[in-house]
A and B are shown apart, each in its own frame.
Chain A
Amino acid sequence: MADQQNTGGVTMPSKPPPWNDPVVRSIVFQIVALILLAWFFWTIFQNTLTNMETRGISTGFAFLNREAGFGILMSLIEYDESHTYGRTFVVGLLNTILVSVLGIIIATILGFVMGVARLSDNWIVARLASIYVETLRNIPLLLQLFFWYTAVLQALPGPRSSLKLSENIYLNNRGLNIPKPIFQDGFEFVWIALLVAIAGIFVLRRWATKRLDETGHTFPVFWTSVGLFIGLPLLVFLIMGLPLNFEVARATRFSLSGGANLIPEFIALLIGLSTYTAAFIAEIVRAGILAVSHGQTEAARSLGLRHGQTLQLIVIPQAMRVIIPPLTSQYLNLTKNSSLAAAIAYPDLVSVFAGTTLNQAGQALEIIGMVMAVYLSLSLGISFLMNLYNKKMALVER
């Protein structure tokens, strides 16, 4: 029969005609898709080149070496108008990193507190935390940023009538003015002492665990660590003769001069980002703690473990497995949301580079490409790390 083929005595199923063969169809389909995609990108590419020529926009990254010619409100590194566009990229990037890292730290602490508070025995505490979460989660972040920036910070008095929060700390509509630390000779030893203290804490922990194993006695590691962290650098500081001065603000005719100034844009962005993300983190923490079955707590308590021990050894390790993946997601969101700085003129990466530099240099393709590349690599990098962490932490099952 024509349907069978004999290959050396073994009967194989016959091959269908190519247009019905799923393997062939799949390959053809994919090739067609690739061709369509390539054509699509090619057309866009051609259009872009033509349009850029017509409008007199140059290409290439040479513009990064041209002089910027504009000032930036806040910079962690040396910067003025004579620096290059490339430098504006770095300044913007550092500002983004600064507000993101600080935002993540504050949001995490606030979020954990709120999440635990929602589970509190005290009805008032639980309700207040719920109101916090439900309010901030349902209002757009941009609106909250405007609120903090416009309604709160700009309503502050001018420099001449600053609010005095405490000795040498002033709050006005130019920002928060705090004493600027001026490190003098000998302060390096204090930094070294800090590093030594941190190393010492690790050594202390290992020694305490070993001692617990051998003798069964627990050691107050936490408070000793705190003491070491603060005490050792403080001791060195005193020994070196207090090598630290502060430049404080003095009132001049029109404003305050001196001190270190945190601009209101930065403060507004930081407060807005932190409080908003904390609301989402609170829900994640609450879900994580609830995910640990009550039987675990009951078993731990009936073995005689105290409340604090149960939390530390049984509940929190299990809750963290549930908390960490969505928590990382929120960290990424915070970092991406920091780009809203453009709306309140905080000089982050988008606002400086994809804003001012783009307007002046005109090379939209390269600039927006660079900006998206930064965020993309950050996202992918953190996703990758989180996948590794997830695999490592998964509960071992049969």
Chain B
Amino acid sequence: MSDASTTESNSNDLAIQMIDVNKWYGEFHVLKNIDLNVSRGERIVICGPSGSGKSTTIRCINRLEEHQRGQIIVDGTELTNDLKNIEIIRREVGMVFQHFNLFPHLTVLENLVLAPMRVRNIPRAEAEKTGMEYLERVKIPEQAQKFPGQLSGGQQQRVAIARSLCMNPRIMLFDEPTSALDPEMIKEVLDTMIELAETGMTMLCVTHEMGFAKTVADRVIFMDGGEIVEENEPNEFFDNPQHERTRLFLSQILAH
């Protein structure tokens, strides 16, 4: 198992570098000394109890949250208050949300082509072609002219994934993508994510789906109390948890 955090200092191979990142909400110290390096093409799963700061960590990567101390470097660009840098980074990083956040007043296809047209200035015809291709990849091309309110939860999340992919990002962030879904729809979304992983996309997923972690992840990271407690490749992680807290957490979520 590669130890990405110590030997790889050549930032060209690193998709994401988080160095000593600290964040506070008011007085509350929500992220403590986060050190995390993600190589290109790596698939990382972050798990942990609620309130452990895992969502906050990935939301810092595309500046939906601001960190107060430390450095975050995405694809060679440092993330600061500089608006220009933020926009560059957001174009290369895609995000899928727990509650989908599709735009309800636009059709599915319009949801997909909006950003490519407005941000990357791609002509409509080409954007729609790309959009339809991604809709086919997520297996719902027939829904193109429907509105999000007419789709099931699983279909909506797949559209959300396609929407992010239409921007051709180098990195995809997933913030508990299946937590808001009915059980019978979780599989279709996870299958989509597995397929995506097989294309070599750099992925950072916050999730409780441990089956997915075992199938796809290169590394599993366990966070608790705002810091990284343990990280390991999946087999070692699940079979040989090193810390008490990790063991406790695993016993709770793997029990049922």
Contacts and interface: CB of A to CB of B under 8 A. Distances in A.
> Interface residues of A toward B: which range?
20 to 34
Contact of B97 (A298, A306, A317, A318): A298
Contact of B101 (A218, A296, A306, A313): A296
Contacts of B118: 218, 305, 309, 313
Contact of A214 (B87, B115, B119, B123): B123
Interface stretch (A269-277, A336-344, A390-398): A390-398
Contacts of A216: 117, 120-124, 126-127
A318 B149 CA distance: 14
A396 B151 CA distance: 10
Contact of A303 (B115, B125, B150): B115
Contact of A213 (B124, B150, B164): B124
B91 interface: yes
A337 to B, nearest CB: 33
B103 interface: yes
A298 B87 contact: no
A26 interface: no
A56 interface: no
A314 B64 contact: no
Interface string A201-223: 00000000000111111100000
Given A302-B95, A318-B105, A218 B114 contact: no
Contact of A304 (B91, B124, B151, B160): B91
B163 interface: yes
Nearest to B160: A299
A317 B105 CA distance: 8
A218 to B, nearest CB: 7
Given A396-B150, A397-B149, A299 B105 contact: no
A216 B115 CA distance: 11
A302 B60 CA distance: 11
Contact of B103 (A309, A314, A321): A314
Given A295-B101, A299-B97, A397-B150, A213 B114 contact: no
A296 B64 CA distance: 12
Nearest to A295: B101
Nearest to A397: B149
Given A298-B97, A303-B90, A314-B103, A212 B117 contact: yes
Contacts, number: 91
A301 interface: yes
B167 interface: yes
Contacts of A299: 95, 97, 101-103, 160
Interface in A136-170: none
A299 B117 CA distance: 16
A395 B120 CA distance: 28
Given A299-B97, A303-B114, A314-B103, A215 B123 contact: yes
Contacts of A215: 121, 123
B104 A318 contact: yes
A303 B64 CA distance: 11
Interface in A314-337: 314, 317-318, 321
| Residue of A217, A299, A309, A313 with highest tally of chain B CB at under 10 A | A299
A396 B149 contact: yes
Contacts of A313: 114, 118
Interface in B100-153: 101-105, 114-115, 117-127, 147, 149-151
A350 to B, nearest CB: 41
Nearest to B127: A216
Given A214-B125, A309-B118, A301 B90 contact: yes
A295 B97 contact: yes
Nearest to B164: A303
Interface in A185-231: 212-218
B93 interface: yes
Interface string B54-93: 0000000010100000000000000000000001001101
Q: Which 9 A-B pairs have the closest CB atoms?
A: A397-B149, A213-B124, A299-B101, A216-B121, A303-B115, A295-B101, A396-B147, A304-B119, A302-B95
17 contacts: A216-B120, A216-B122, A218-B121, A295-B101, A298-B97, A299-B160, A302-B90, A303-B119, A303-B163, A303-B164, A304-B120, A305-B119, A314-B103, A395-B105, A396-B149, A396-B150, A397-B149
Interface of A: 212-218, 293, 295-296, 298-306, 309, 313-314, 317-318, 321, 395-398
